[in-house]
């Protein structure tokens, strides 16, 4: 075929057109423009297909590009054959073009359903409009959700603040509670203690937190306190009744305590808040009250015995009922003054100075210099208060009736001091009267109840010795008794 082309056995196509310039130009220009257009279209298709990565009909598009390109080549060879008779090459190109065209025609029909499945621009616009509407709806929903979220965040923040404030209040109440508070787990581990509990258990806070419940309260386990038979109605509110037990400080020292257990809400796994009160003072007070009651019973019996003795002596020394009533009443009043002082001191002892002032208060004299009182502070025991009060009452009564206080110018001196006797401290109490009696009272004068008190009852009660002196210028009574027998 090449030899035939070289030998030139064919005529150019221009002879067929008689080499008419306008006709040659028309064919040449038409073929050239068509070839250019057919060459540009496949390039555009190829660029489009290469850039659209998601295009599903890429093979068909490439096949169309090849078909158009080969159609353009036929026009190119049509242009060439106007001057060069290369009809064999033109035939080959047309054969390839026919093959490509046939292949394209054969493959295009199966692809029609897929092509029809591709949405049209109107359909795409409708779908796009629907999507835009859904987007606007979603945006509205999103705005509502955003508003709801903002409102929820505000509520959560408010609730968080409220919970925080409640937590702070609980922590403050827990920490500053007037009783010891301990938070204990179901396993008996101490989680939290307040300041009163730290002080009660006598250790640092961290040291208390390392302890177990049964180390601090060995006789009060949670199991025994919260048993069903002990809870009763408290099962409904989670509060166990107060229980007295023996607690133990970190240093091992035990003390009585009252304990109450409150379960926190949230189920059986929640810890317990345990309140403790150190009742050592209460126990001591109860014991003291029992001692006082026993002592009061004993003293009441002694007082009744004294009153009975006073009554017998008053009967024996009284010539008539009026004298008995006056004598017995005065002595009861003197005894009651001593007991008033004892009650005021809760039977803890009475100052000797207060006792003297209370007994001498029955003297109604405008001249305050008639009585001189002097002595160091001494606290008398209840027994010594009662005995000394009886003696002072008899001395004051005697002074009012017969002694220094029965006349103008009489003077009384009441002095006491602590003196050593046989290397033991003793109290010396002196009652001295100064006055002008017509004649000294004889020592053989009949002894009444008052003299019996001064000479026998009081010395025996105070384990002391007395001195009694009657003179024309006055009267003196002194007693010395061991300090241990008179003081608390």
Predicted confidence (pLDDT) per residue in 342-353, tens digit: 777 776 778 889
**Over the chain, what is the mean pLDDT?**
77
Domains and CATH numbers, the chain: 2-117 (no CATH), 176-278 (3.30.450.20), 285-486 (3.30.565.10)
Instruction: State the pLDDT confidence band at 235, using cuts at 50, 70 and 90.
Output: very low
Q: What is the DSSP letter of 441?
A: P
| Cβ 277 vs Cβ 257: under 8 Å | yes
The two structure tokens encoding residue 129: 């409009």
Confidence at residue 315, expressed as pLDDT on a 0 to 100 scale: 62
Q: In 3D, which of 334, 451, 474, 467 has the Cα closest to residue 403?
A: 474
pLDDT band per the 50, 70, 90 thresholds, residue 386:
confident
Residue with tokens 């210028």: 473
Average pLDDT over residues 56-64: 76
| 444 exposure class (CB count in 10 Å sphere: 0-12, 13-18, 19+) | exposed
Residue 55: left if φ>0, alpha if ψ -120 to 50, beta else—which one? beta
Is pLDDT above 90 for 83? no
pLDDT in tens, 22-58: 888 888 888 888 888 888 888 888 888 888 777 767 7
Q: What is the pLDDT of residue 176?
A: 73
Q: For residue 452, what are its two tokens? A: 């019996």
User: From the CA atom positions of the chain, what is the Rg in Å?
Assistant: 65
Task: State pLDDT tens for residues 216-232.
Answer: 776 555 566 555 434 44
- Predicted confidence (pLDDT) per residue in 456-486, tens digit: 888 888 889 999 887 767 788 999 999 888 8
How do residues 90-100 score in pLDDT, each as one tens digit?
888 888 888 88
Q: Tens of pLDDT along 261-302?
A: 777 666 566 777 887 788 888 888 888 778 767 766 666 666
Q: Give the tens place of pLDDT for each residue, 88-131.
A: 888 888 888 888 888 887 877 777 777 677 667 787 788 888 88
Enter the DSSP assignment of 212: B
Report in angstroms the alpha-carbon separations of 171 from 179, 202, 281, 440: 14, 21, 28, 84
SS3 188: coil
Separation CA 20–CA 127 (nearest Å): 59
- Rounded Cα distance between 479 and 384, Å, is 13
pLDDT at 168 exceeding the cut of 80: no
* pLDDT tens column, 299-320: 666 656 666 666 665 566 556 6
Pair type for strands 411-421 and 371-374 = parallel
Residue 61 to residue 294: CA distance in whole angstroms: 122
Tell me how far apart the alpha carbons of residues 354 and 343 are, in angstroms, rounded to a whole number.
13
């Amino acid at each position: 075929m090449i030899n035939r082309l070289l030998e030139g056995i064919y005529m150019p196509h221009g002879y067929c057109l008689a080499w008419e310039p306008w006709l040659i130009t028309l064919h040449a220009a038409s073929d050239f423009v068509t070839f250019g257009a057919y060459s540009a279209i496949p390039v555009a298709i190829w660029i489009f297909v290469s850039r659209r990565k998601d295009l599903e009909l890429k093979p068909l598009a490439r096949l169309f590009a090849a078909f158009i390109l080969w159609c353009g080549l036929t026009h190119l060879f049509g242009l060439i054959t106007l001057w060069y008779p290369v009809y064999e090459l033109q035939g080959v190109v047309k054969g390839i073009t026919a093959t490509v065209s046939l292949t394209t025609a054969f493959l295009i029909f199966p692809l029609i359903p897929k092509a029809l499945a591709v949405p049209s621009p109107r359909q795409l616009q409708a779908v796009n409009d629907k999507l835009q509407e859904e987007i606007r709806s979603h945006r509205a929903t999103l705005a509502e959700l955003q508003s709801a979220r903002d409102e929820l965040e505000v509520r959560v923040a408010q609730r968080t603040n409220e919970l925080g404030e409640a937590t702070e209040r609980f922590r403050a109440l827990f920490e500053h509670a007037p009783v010891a508070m301990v938070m204990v787990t179901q396993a008996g581990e101490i989680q939290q203690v307040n300041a009163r509990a730290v002080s009660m258990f006598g250790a640092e806070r961290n040291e208390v937190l390392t302890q177990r419940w049964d180390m601090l309260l060995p006789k009060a386990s949670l199991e025994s306190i919260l048993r069903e038979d002990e809870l009763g109605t408290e099962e409904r509110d989670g509060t166990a009744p107060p229980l007295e037990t023996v607690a133990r400080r970190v240093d091992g020292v035990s003390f009585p305590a009252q304990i109450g257990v409150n379960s926190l809400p949230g189920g059986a796994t929640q810890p317990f808040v345990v309140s403790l009160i150190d009742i050592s003072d209460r126990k001591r007070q109860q014991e003291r009250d029992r001692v006082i009651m026993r002592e009061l019973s004993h003293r009441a019996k002694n007082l009744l015995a004294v009153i009975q003795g006073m009554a017998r002596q008053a009967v024996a020394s009284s010539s008539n009922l009026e004298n008995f009533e006056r004598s017995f009443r005065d002595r009861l009043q003197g005894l009651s003054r001593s007991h008033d002082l004892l009650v005021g001191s809760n039977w803890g002892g009475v100052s000797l100075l207060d006792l003297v002032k209370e007994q001498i208060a029955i003297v109604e004299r405008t001249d305050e210099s008639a009585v001189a009182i002097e002595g160091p502070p001494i606290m008398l025991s209840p027994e010594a208060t009662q005995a000394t009060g009886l003696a002072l009452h008899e001395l004051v009564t005697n002074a009012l009736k017969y002694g220094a206080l029965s006349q103008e110018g009489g003077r009384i001196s009441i002095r006491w001091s602590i003196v050593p006797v046989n290397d033991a401290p003793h109290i010396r109490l002196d009652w001295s009267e100064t006055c002008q009696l017509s004649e000294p009272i004889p020592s053989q004068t009949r002894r009444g109840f008052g003299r019996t008190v001064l000479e026998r009852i009081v010395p025996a009660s105070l384990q002391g010795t007395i001195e009694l002196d009657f003179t024309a210028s006055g009267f003196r009574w002194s007693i010395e008794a061991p300090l241990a027998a008179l003081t608390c």
